[in-house]
Structure 1
């Protein structure tokens, strides 16, 4: 059996449609050769290419002309998602209302109108913009997860949008599916976070009746020298809250953390260091240790609950996120 003929350069290392292959001079038999894989009907790719999510998306969008959306777009943008959703093999694609929704195995096809600025053309695929992707997640995620994803949009480093742009976008979605939950999430979203765990911890504290802490507010010593930007803090009570993820166990990072916190304590701050164990209740219905420890620190510094203020129900168990240890 003769080996298949070499592919043309424009067909190497990427998916291509059968129509593109025929236009390049490949025979029907060549498109069925063993060195090509069939990601979906009408699309081929060299077997040497990696079978990653991006490869699948490139193949599917090449065959359908659809836009990557919803959870698939969220993964491409790097949104923090519960691991149960982030690792799902199902692909989400959106087509214009005038076109039939995509129907393939392990594909969820959507039909919806997308404004020109709601589609971003990347090097390999077109996907929904960060704002549109977040809005589409309103019908998929629970409220806390939607807030966490929204805070990611407004994160301190390399934000994907601005508060003004977010509010203007939402104003134009009034009455659309998902609008009400998106508005509820917007009321809880805050800018300048560094990690999903900051958001999760903030929501946990406020849900249990504690005042809302500041986010990454810098601490200075009496000479004006910078000490640290704690994850969360209460300036009036001079309480700094740090969430230490897995990477804080590194010896070098641990030494840096100790130096950081000792400087804050020398400046008169009470430092509360929390980990994932503190966010998880020991048993259903129990108050997480994070809440009891922060409440004790607040009371130690003279804080008292507002009259009539009570926790807004028990907090849900914290969800796993791939946060790289933060």
Structure 2
């Protein structure tokens, strides 16, 4: 008998293992105990990134709760969308209303009680735990998460193929539910052109504090038409471009050694000089700046917007157009 992705003690015994062998497998490091009575293979745990490990943990919790499905951030991780960095996120589940179901709010566990229509639940064979559909997952996140985190999930979802129609329709199906109006209001902040959690989180967080939303992914040419750069942000009314340099971007750039870092710094310095020569003000920030709190980030961006002057800008700055399907 083949063990499932996350298996219980009872399933191990049914597959032919004894209780003594189960204990021995965990002690030797062949199996990882995810919670009391729930395990996964150690090789699977080692091969999983933070999101994958979150899913394994959430599945372990769900398998001990009849009828629970992965939802919210746990479903987002299951669909391959980024989780907020900087610490473990709680396992998030949803169960249908019933006499024995109740909402749970703990540091490591959230359980919502809400209707689960058949089209909004996707069965999972390997994990033996179902997950909310992509559209339902986004709608739930837009209702319950802080706006920057919720929009980061939605941005990743639409960039991965969730249609605008599904994005609009899912919150409408939740009319009358807690925070449904909040979700519908946040849909207007979603943009499939943003390319990382940091980009999505930072612009929404800054927008909450009065900073105008920038145009994403702008291409800059000088006055002779020569390509200068592709930047994350363009504030045309201020003559400012911005770069959100998160950890994902540096991994994509192949940074593995100190020499790689030095090379990238030289390239970025030359790139920034060319942008300033074109009359643009440049603001850069990274994940660490976001971790430091919104006030520091707001101050940095605010000072750049105050220094910028669109009258100084020469050349051509072209934002990446929205996809036709949007």
Same topology, TM > 0.5: yes
Shift of 1:82: 4.4
Q: Is the 8 A contact 1:69 1:93 kept in 2?
A: yes
Residues 1:239 and 2:240 are matched in the alignment: yes
Give the match's secondary structure for 2:231.
coil
Residue 131 (structure 1) aligned to one of 135, 138, 151: 135
The C-alpha deviation readout for 1:256-308, integer Å capped at 9, x for no partner, is 32343344445x34140322587689997996121121222037649xxxxxx
Residues 1:94 and 2:94 are matched in the alignment: yes
Distance 1:211 1:46 in 2: 48
Give the match's secondary structure for 2:218.
coil
Residue of structure 2 in register with 1:317 after alignment: none
Shift of 1:187: 2.6
Q: Is the 8 A contact 1:136 1:178 kept in 2?
A: no
Cα 1:135–1:14, aligned 2, differ >3 Å: closer, same or farther? closer
Residue of structure 1 in register with 2:301 after alignment: 290
Residue of structure 1 in register with 2:285 after alignment: 275
In the TM superposition, 1:157-196 aligns within 5 A as 159-196=160-197
Distance 2:312 2:296 in 1: 27
Shift of 1:110: 3.2
Distance 1:264 1:273 in 2: 11
TM-score (norm 2): 0.67
Residue of structure 2 in register with 1:320 after alignment: none
Shift of 1:87: 0.3
Shift of 1:216: 0.6
Cα 1:103–1:291, aligned 2, differ >3 Å: closer, same or farther? closer
Distance 1:39 1:245 in 2: 30
The C-alpha deviation readout for 1:169-228, integer Å capped at 9, x for no partner, is 222222222211112222323231012333344346545655432111222345655432
Give the total of aligned pairs. 284
Distance 1:48 1:299 in 2: 55
Residue 144 (structure 1) aligned to one of 143, 148, 152: 148
Residue of structure 2 in register with 1:4 after alignment: none
Distance 1:221 1:47 in 2: 54
Cα 1:236–1:290, aligned 2, differ >3 Å: closer, same or farther? closer
Q: Is the 8 A contact 1:35 1:47 kept in 2?
A: no
Residue of structure 1 in register with 2:218 after alignment: 217
Cα 1:91–1:32, aligned 2, differ >3 Å: closer, same or farther? farther
Residue of structure 1 in register with 2:114 after alignment: 112
In the TM superposition, 1:28-107 aligns within 5 A as 30-31=18-19, 33=21, 34-35=23-24, 50=45, 52-63=53-64, 64-83=66-85, 87-88=88-89, 90-98=90-98, 100-101=100-101, 107=109
Cα 1:66–1:102, aligned 2, differ >3 Å: closer, same or farther? farther
TM-score (norm 1): 0.67
Cα 1:101–1:109, aligned 2, differ >3 Å: closer, same or farther? farther
Give the match's secondary structure for 1:240.
strand
Shift of 1:161: 1.6
RMSD across aligned positions (CA): 4.2
Q: Is the 8 A contact 2:103 2:112 kept in 1?
A: no
Cα 1:130–1:184, aligned 2, differ >3 Å: closer, same or farther? same
